[in-house]
Amino acid sequence: MPINNRIAAFQDDMTAWRRDIHAHPELGFEEKRTSDIVATKLAEFGIAVHRGLGGTGVVGTLTGLGTDSGRTIGLRADMDALPMPEANDFDHASRHAGRMHACGHDGHTAMLLGAARYLAETRNFDGTVHFIFQPAEEGLGGAKRMIDDGLFQQFDCEQVYGLHNWPELPAGRIAVHPGPVMAAANQFEIHVTGHGAHAAMPHRGIDPVLVSAHIVTAAQSLVSRGTNPAESAVVSITVVEAGTAANVIPDSARMRGTMRTFSEENHSRIQEQFGRLVTSIAEGLGATAELRFRPGYPATVNSEPEARIAAAAAAKVVGEENVVWAPDPTMAAEDFGYMLKERPGAYIWLGHGAHLGSSCRLHNPHYDFNDAILTTGASYWASLVETILPRSA
């Protein structure tokens, strides 16, 4: 390529779609208006539309002009906004108080629509593409809901691909990881039960605050001593609650936090060690304690062959020198990890650049999607399809 010429001609349309979606943000599983727009546009382009997976999910299916390969791939975009107020005051700022497209899913939706339009016009590929527009990426696991509703049974995908705009990466660059991209994230809660007493007579009680302090300190060993130094993990205790008065030892204490890892072995090992630590520290000090995990998203892990394909497709658009291979992964989480557990594939970072200044970061109230990269993203999608499903000469 670089930027596909035909896709470059969609710049104004994609910008208009993106800004319209930005102005009307919808939260997870409530993407009614957005999914109506997606379904209507796909149908206009001549693409078969299926609705209802995961509630508001939309799948568009398009077969290329070549018919021999029988091959299939899935391309995924997310559609939901965040429950936060927008601080921008431009024309397309959110019209709904307390809801905002601060993660750029408006842009992801618009660029996959742009790619779908181009691919429906040209159909210069051999096989079938499923355009997967998923609800509820932000914490609610819309990808899992679509999978549970039969996504991959109804729409066979040999491979599945996703992307996210990345403000830390300059516009015009694309980063590809050959393995882990984002971490698995769990939340946990610890209840410590002691025995309340007068603070002047601590020997009459069992102090849950002291027990909690030991647990917080000991939890630091889970990563620094228990985890292979060549791997990464995070255990953060972020909430500690106990007590009501300076002269009262409380009955109980409560803590909350999050744990992040890239591998399932690390995940289950830390969970198990943490559980032992919590109960034995409490027991040693005469208290009882319980650790409860609320499972979150699995790690987002690319398969290396598909990551190499994604990097090759990206290089055709932005040039080899602008493809960043194997950068550090991040400890943030992403529900595309569920899809990558089902099918091999790759999730890439599309350079976004903090084009509105340093506060234009994901989940920041000043964020806005950079419309200049809509054509880069759509061209990448097109390049990926034409690379994976080439028509025989």
Q: Which residues bind Zn ion (CB under 5 A)?
A: 103
Judged by beta carbon, residue 188 or residue 347, the one nearer Zn ion is: 347
Positions at the binding site for Mn(2+) = 103, 105, 138, 164, 363
d(CA 367, CA 66): 42
Judged by beta carbon, residue 103 or residue 174, the one nearer Zn ion is: 103
CB of 333 to Zn ion, least distance (A): 9
**Residue 29's CB: how many other CB atoms inside 10 A?**
17
> Starting from the edge strand earliest in sequence, which strands make up the sheet with 159-166, in order?
48-51, 58-63, 128-134, 72-78, 159-166, 345-351, 174-176, 323-325
Judged by beta carbon, residue 354 or residue 388, the one nearer Zn ion is: 354
Which segments of the chain are extended strands (E)?
48-51, 58-63, 72-78, 128-134, 159-166, 174-176, 180-182, 184-193, 197-198, 233-242, 248-249, 252-261, 288-294, 300-301, 323-325, 345-351
Judged by beta carbon, residue 42 or residue 103, the one nearer Zn ion is: 103
CB of 137 to Zn ion, least distance (A): 6
Judged by beta carbon, residue 71 or residue 164, the one nearer Zn ion is: 164
**Residue 176's CB: how many other CB atoms inside 10 A?**
25
- Contact (Cβ atoms closer than 8 angstroms) between residue 157 and residue 336: no
DSSP-assigned letters across all residues of 283-312: HHTT-EEEEEEE--PPPEE--HHHHHHHHH
CB of 164 to Zn ion, least distance (A): 6
Query: Which residues are CB-neighbours of 323 under 8 A, at least 6 positions away?
Result: 173, 174, 175, 176, 311, 314, 315
**Residue 254's CB: how many other CB atoms inside 10 A?**
14
CB of 304 to Zn ion, least distance (A): 24
CB of 247 to Zn ion, least distance (A): 45
Positions at the binding site = 103, 105, 138, 164, 363
Residues 274-283 as b or e (16 or more Cβ within 10 Å = b): bbebbeebbe
CB of 18 to Zn ion, least distance (A): 14
**Closest residue to Zn ion using C-beta atoms:** 103
CB of 175 to Zn ion, least distance (A): 15
Residues 111-137 as b or e (16 or more Cβ within 10 Å = b): bbbbbbbbbbeebbbbbbbbbbbbbbb
Q: What is the 3-state secondary structure (H, E, C) of 79-122?
A: CCCECCCCCCCCCCCCCCCCCECCCCHHHHHHHHHHHHHHHHHH
CB of 371 to Zn ion, least distance (A): 17
Judged by beta carbon, residue 103 or residue 235, the one nearer Zn ion is: 103
Which residue from 154, 134, 155, 158 is spatially nearest to 146, judged by alpha carbons? 134
305 backbone φψ class: left, alpha, beta (φ>0; ψ -120 to 50): alpha
CB of 294 to Zn ion, least distance (A): 19
Judged by beta carbon, residue 81 or residue 282, the one nearer Zn ion is: 81
Judged by beta carbon, residue 45 or residue 161, the one nearer Zn ion is: 161
Judged by beta carbon, residue 138 or residue 386, the one nearer Zn ion is: 138
End-to-end CA distance of the chain: 18
